[in-house]
Amino acid sequence: MRFRVPIKHAAVTAVLALALLALPGSAAAKPRALYWGAWLGPQLTGEEAPWDMRAAYHFERLVRKRLSLLEFSAPFAKCEADCVFYTFPTDEMTKIRRHGAIPFFSWNSGVSGGNWGDFQLSDLRSGRYDPYIRSIARRAKAWGHPFFLRFDWEMNGNWFPWGANVNGNLPGEFRLAWRHVHDIFEQVGATNVTWVWCPYATDESLASFYPGDRYVDWTCLDGYNWGPESAEPTPWRSFSDIFAPAYRQIVTEIAPDKPMLIGEVATDDSGGDKAAWIRNMFIDLRLGFPKVAGLVWFDKYDLGVQWPIETSPIASAVFAHGVRSGPFRGNVYSRLRRTPIPPPRG
């Protein structure tokens, strides 16, 4: 049964949130600095950030801390009667940087609408889209400022056109396609890009998808607590349950010298206690994931699941307290120059 606390009881929910955070098991560890941010849906203002930056301000007022990362995404193209290829989002990047946050651009080789078969990994490798990729790289270079580029994320899943064993993609092909795209950016001189490799958190082997240390600056993981009543029903799982197996694999076997981001994370609010899950997420992150240097909350409605923190006043208060009381950096990055982007300083 779902339980919602009316907004008028916000003062009570804040007290409850602090009580949750004070429960046993929250022993302090040596703090380390982390980036934090969100991928914001249209529910806040009617349009997603960064196209409408009021959404970012709205979210920051809710949390009472300024974002250091703002995530958004775009595919190669939108295809209806014809395919229209998206250009580099210069204006959106500039809005984020002026806000003081670091752009976290999730760019993919897929398509909105149209036929997946026209966007196979073999098409990337063959050079079919080289002129387009080169144009994006040149515009990225011309923009000139550092940003995270999370290219073709969750490649180990089967739900995207670039995914494993779907759309005609062959085993091992992802690594070659990634290197091909990376090489084009390198040839153009787009050195302001920080490359983020981001599989979905799983206990299966990820090594075959890793392009190699020369082609990756940060590793990353996505993961969700879907819960038993969601569109993808699973048992209620903690942050550690979801992320620990893949995290250990990456930091011990695949890329032990790379910093890591959590590129997407959220929990449903049905089938368990959303506020307690978030509270324990911050504890788990502090105590068990020392390589993680940034976290992005997926604050969007998707597949009928209520991922945003604002679906529950208690969850919002717990999330806000976790971000404000932890070593998470605010929006002080409007003058960031270094690439690859380093982890934040303690």
**Spatial CA neighbour of 178 closest among 159, 155, 148, 161:** 155
pLDDT score of 16:
44
Domain ranges of the chain: 30-325
DSSP 267-323: E-SSSS-HHHHHHHHHHHHHHH-TTEEEEEEEESEETTEE-SGGG-HHHHHHHHHHH
- Taking only the tens place, the pLDDT of each residue in 219-278 is 999 999 998 988 889 999 999 999 999 999 999 999 999 999 999 999 998 889 999 999
Is residue 16 classed as helix, strand or coil in its secondary structure? Answer: helix
325: number of Cβ within 10 Å: 12
Instruction: Tell me the two tokens of residue 64.
Output: 């009472």
Residue range 130-147: mean pLDDT, rounded: 98
Tell me the CA distances in angstroms from 147 to 101, 330, 337, one per residue in order. Answer: 10, 16, 10
Per the CB < 8 A criterion, the answer to whether 210 and 191 are in contact is no
pLDDT score of 81:
84
Q: What is the pTM of this model?
A: 0.92
pLDDT tier at 197 (50, 70, 90 boundaries)? very high
% of the chain exceeding 90 in pLDDT: 85
Residue range 3-11: mean pLDDT, rounded: 32
Residue range 191-210: mean pLDDT, rounded: 98
pLDDT tier at 30 (50, 70, 90 boundaries)? low
Distance, CA of 343 to CA of 346 (rounded, Å)? 9
Residue range 125-138: mean pLDDT, rounded: 98
pLDDT tier at 62 (50, 70, 90 boundaries)? very high
- Taking only the tens place, the pLDDT of each residue in 270-326 is 889 999 999 999 999 999 999 999 999 999 999 999 999 999 999 999 999 999 998
pLDDT at 20 over 70: no
pLDDT score of 2:
26
Instruction: Tell me the two tokens of residue 346.
Output: 């303690």
Domain 30-325: give its CATH code. 3.20.20.80
pLDDT at 21 over 60: no
Q: Are strands 147-151 and 218-225 parallel, antiparallel or unpaired?
A: unpaired
